[in-house]
Amino acid sequence: MSDQTYATPVPQSSPPQRDYSAFDADLTGQAFNFQLFARLLRWLRPYRLTVAFSLLFILLAAGLAVMLPVVTGLVVIDNILRPESVSGEEPDFGMTELTYLISDVSGYTPLIAACILYLAMVTAQAGIMYLHRITLASSVLKALRDLRVDLFSTLEDKPSSFYDRVAVGRVMTRVTNDIESLNELLTGFGMLVGEFVPFFVALFLMGAISPSLTLIVLFAIPIAAVATYFFRMAMRDIFRLIRNSVSALNQYLQENLIGIQVVQLSGREGMNEEHYGRLNHDNRRFEFQAINYETLYHSFNESLASIAIGAIIWFGGGQVVQDEITLGAMILFIQLITMMIMPIVGLGEQFNVLYRAMASGERIFQAIDWDERLKEPEHPVELPPRLRGEIELRNVHFGYNKGEPVLKDVSFNIRPGEKLAIVGPTGSGKSTIIRLLARFYDFDDDMIFLDGIDLNQIRSRDLRRRIGVVLQDFHIFSGTVRDNIMLNNPDISPQQAEQAARTVNADGFIRQLADGYDTHLAERGQNLSQGQRQLLAFARVLAADPEILVLDEATASIDTATELVIQDALHKLTEGRSSIIIAHRLQTIQECDRILVLHHGVVREFGTHEELIKKQGIYYTLHELQFQDGAIAAELAGADTEEADSPVEQQADDDDDGTPPSMREPDSF
């Protein structure tokens, strides 16, 4: 089932009821899947000229490789050392004439001339092989780089509904390891071609010299092929068992290391050693089984070649005596046999690579073919250079899963330049509104409007350039502070970045860092405080200068001084911009023009501060409580968790809506 998924296109229009488990499935395809290979070749097409040259070179080199024993066998032994036996009928591809020509021209003896010819041919062969290798490597590497970038590009476009359900690690290895094993496949394939070409040239040559002796050799080939086949069949399951047992060993060790304190406090050392011992034992058993086959096979085909040599001596020797062939031809045969058996040996050893590469190819194309994308308009509306900044939500119904509505009939509007605070308890759907405005998810037409234009009529990229979103768990990339503000956006200059930082009061702490704007931040910004991260997020969004701002205020506790700085920054940030703020602090809410109270996905109250106070409803009560709640919770729960930085997935508890917890990424906003 799973090996077909990459080829099955998912109908565009049908609602996403996708089988994400396909991404976790252990793909084990066939040893050789021509369809997949053909598809892979498409990426080589831009470099087909290089590939063609590479193939031409390998043909030449292979031809020369076969000529070397011709020189020793037919020219040196027959013509030079045993001139009395020459019949002149052996197909030596003009090597004898060439030798004598060299001898005539240079004046050396034929023997020296043969040496010169031999040396020249080896040199030419090595040079051509070099050209073959680098042309092949160059085209394969470039093709795989393109494939890697193409794969990466499709991943960049996958919507949040995809990343909600597929672990990043699962996707990541496709861009790294899987592409690497394709490299192995393609270069290995080049090598295989390089071995099979001499195979056929040698076969042709042998047939021309002595059809009857060739039959003996041909008799050995099916035996070698059958041995290879059986080896492959026997090893197939064992390789899988070994792989599984090794990963079981590693997983067990890793988990034990991560939870070592629990292990030790529970006194489980002895029991765990026994368990690990059992896993270790299984692994050893499978490894032993594997080497039984491997060693049996390993030199079987080589021995076969030697046995064929014995047969050639017996039959060929008889033919030499009867003057049917020359001694040199017999020796040529002996030397060619090795050349014929080698590719079959190589094939047997390449099977492992082949399996791995095919599975990798399947995984890569599965990801490329996974056409989960945001709905983009067919005839997108071009946004005017300057937006008014009017947002309207009209009877918005939305849910992440069928039958689990998160927003129910939500309607409200923001006037140009207005600031709106959204208030509501955990699970009310506040963050969902932000996600919809940022177009992280698809929703129905005619629900959300920007300056009167249906959001679904705007390209998501255009939209996101105009709407700046500050997520609560703001992602810091490893890189300098400046990089984190600019985010590699070519439209932002370093000066603008610093200006933005100054505006949102981030300049002060940045300059106090070791290298100022060039200070290197670790991924997720572990070397910054919560407040500093928040200011950096402000600077980032300000530098991009969006016309509309959507902001999820951080809940974590911040000391009073920082709090004031952030309030001031927020004030500057929202100035003159239509803004939607999910607010946790009283101060923030009071700065806003209007307030929306959301509860269980329903708008409960909507109006100005005064209006809502007058109403004496939810907002009034919340206001009475002074909104201390978030700060307290953070102080109590959040303050001590810095140490708990284990590699084990940390569940974000601050999230609020219907996404099942098991499906969330730790750093989802």
Partner 1 sequence: MPNGHHSAQSAQYTANSPRRADATFRDLGHLQRLFPYLKRYAWPLTAVIFGFLLTRLFDAAVPLFLMHAVDSISEGNPSLLIPALGIIVTVICRYGVFVYARRLMRRIAIAVCYDLRKRLFTHVQRQGPAFFNKYPTGDIMSRAINDINLVRNVIAWGVVSIMTFLFSVSIAMVFMFYLSPALSLMVIWPLPIVAYVAFRMSRILFPYIREQMMAIGEVTSYVQENLNGIRTIQAMAQEEAEIKRFTEVSTKYADLVYRATKYRAIMNVIMPMMTTILPVIIIGYGGSLVLSDEISVGTFVAFFSYLLMLTGPVRMIGMSLSMLTMGAAGTARLCEIFDYEPEINDDLNAAVPDKIQGQLEIRDLTYTYPGASQKALTDISINIEPGETIAFLGRVGCGKSTILKSLVRLIDTPAGTVLLDGHDIRSYPLERLRKEITLILQDPFLFSDTLRLNVTYDDPSRQDRPIWAATDAASMSETIREFPLQLATIVGERGITLSGGQKQRATLARGLIRRAPVLAMDDCFSSVDTETEEEILSGLQNLRKGKTTLLISHRVSTVRHADRIFVIDEGRVVESGSHGELLRLGGYYADLEAVQSNQDQDRQRKVKLLHDLEDKQEAVVGGEG
Tell me which residues in 421-450 interact with partner 1 (CB under 8 A): 425, 438, 440
CB of 454 to partner 1, least distance (A): 19
Q: What is the DSSP string of 620-662?
A: HHHHHTTT-HHHHHIIIIITTGGG---SSPPPP----SSS-GG
Give the C-alpha separation, 178 to 358, whole Å. 9
Considering only 8, 21, 250, 411, the residue that binds partner 1 (CB under 8 A) is 250
Binding flags for partner 1, 293-332, as an x/- string (CB under 8 A): -xxx-xxx--x--xx-xxx-xx--xx-xx-----x--xx-
Q: Which is nearer to partner 1, 30 or 244 (CB)?
A: 244
Q: Do 577 and 417 touch, CB atoms closer than 8 A? A: yes
Q: Of 107, 267, 385, 452, which one interacts with partner 1 (CB under 8 A)?
A: 267
Single residue of 7, 10, 263, 353 touching partner 1 by CB under 8 A:
263
Binding mask 118-157 for partner 1 (x = CB under 8 A): xx--xx-xxx-xx--xx--xx--xx-xx--xx--xx-xxx
Q: Which two tokens stand for residue 214?
A: 């060739």
- Minimum Å gap between C-beta 369 and partner 1 is 18
Q: How far is the CB of 30 from partner 1 (least distance, A)?
A: 28
Contact flag: residue 471 with partner 1 (CB under 8 A): yes
Shortest CB 459 distance to partner 1, Å: 10
| Contact assessment for residue 282 and residue 243, using Cβ atoms and an 8 Å cutoff | no
Using CB under 8 A as the binding rule, whether residue 47 contacts partner 1 is answered as no
**Amino acid sitting at position 302:** E
- Looking at 194-202, 395-403, 502-510, 596-604, which segment touches partner 1 (CB under 8 A)? 596-604
Is 411 a binder of partner 1 (CB under 8 A)?
no
Which 65-104 residues touch partner 1, going by CB under 8 A? 72, 76-77, 80-82
Q: Is residue 661 a contact point for partner 1 (CB under 8 A)?
A: yes
Number of H helices, E strands in the chain: 23, 12
**By rule CB under 8 A, what string of x and - marks binding of each residue 97-116 to partner 1?**
--------------xx-xx-
What span, in angstroms and rounded, lies between the C-alpha atoms of 499 and 556? Answer: 27
* Smaller CB separation from partner 1, 206 or 216: 216
List the one residue out of 362, 460, 364 whose CA is nearest residue 157. Answer: 460
Between 469 and 565, CB nearer to partner 1: 469
Q: Is 489 in the site for partner 1 (CB under 8 A)?
A: yes
- In the region spanning residues 526 to 555, those forming contacts with partner 1, defined by CB under 8 A, are 540-541, 544
Which of residues 12 and 646 has its CB atom nearest to partner 1 in the complex?
646
Binder of partner 1 out of 288, 395, 493, 615 (CB under 8 A): 288
- Which residues are CB-contacts of 599 (< 8 A; sequence separation ≥ 6)? 424, 425, 428, 618
Counting contacts by CB under 8 A, is residue 273 touching partner 1? Answer: yes
Q: Which positions from 614 to 653 touch partner 1 by CB under 8 A, shown as an x/- string?
A: ----x--xx--xx-xx--x--xxx-xxxxxx-xxxxxx-x
Question: Applying CB under 8 A, does 373 fall inside the site for partner 1?
Answer: no
Q: What are phi and psi of 344, to 5 degrees?
A: -70, -40
Site string for partner 1, 334-363 (x = CB under 8 A): xx----------------------------
The answer to whether the CB of 179 falls within 8 A of the CB of 364 is yes
Please choose, out of 287-295, 379-387, 566-574, 608-616, the segment that lies near partner 1 by the rule CB under 8 A.
287-295
* DSSP state letters, 399-463: EEETTEEEEEEEEEEE-TT-EEEEE--TTSSHHHHHHHHTT-S---SSSEEETTEEGGGS-HHHH
Question: 533 and 556 in contact (C-beta within 8 Å)?
Answer: no
- By CB under 8 A, tell whether 375 contacts partner 1: no
The tokens describing 219, both together, are 């008799």
238-247: long-range contacts (C-beta < 8 A, 24 or more apart)?
238/286, 238/289, 238/290, 238/293, 239/290, 239/352, 239/355, 240/28, 241/286, 242/283, 242/286, 242/287, 242/290, 245/279, 245/282, 245/283, 245/286, 246/283
Tokens of residue 260, six digits: 């070592």
Identity of the residue, 36 or 467, whose beta carbon is nearer to partner 1 in the bound complex? 467
Q: Which is nearer to partner 1, 269 or 568 (CB)?
A: 269
Q: Tell whether residue 215 is a contact of partner 1 (CB under 8 A).
A: no
DSSP 664: -
Distances (CA, A) of 37 to 22, 114, 189: 21, 44, 11
Element (H, E) at 580: strand 578-582
The nearer residue to partner 1, 254 or 527, going by C-beta atoms, is: 254
Give residues 154-183 in contact with partner 1 (rule: CB under 8 A): 155-158, 160, 163, 168, 171-172, 175-176, 180, 183
Classify residue 605 by its DSSP letter. E
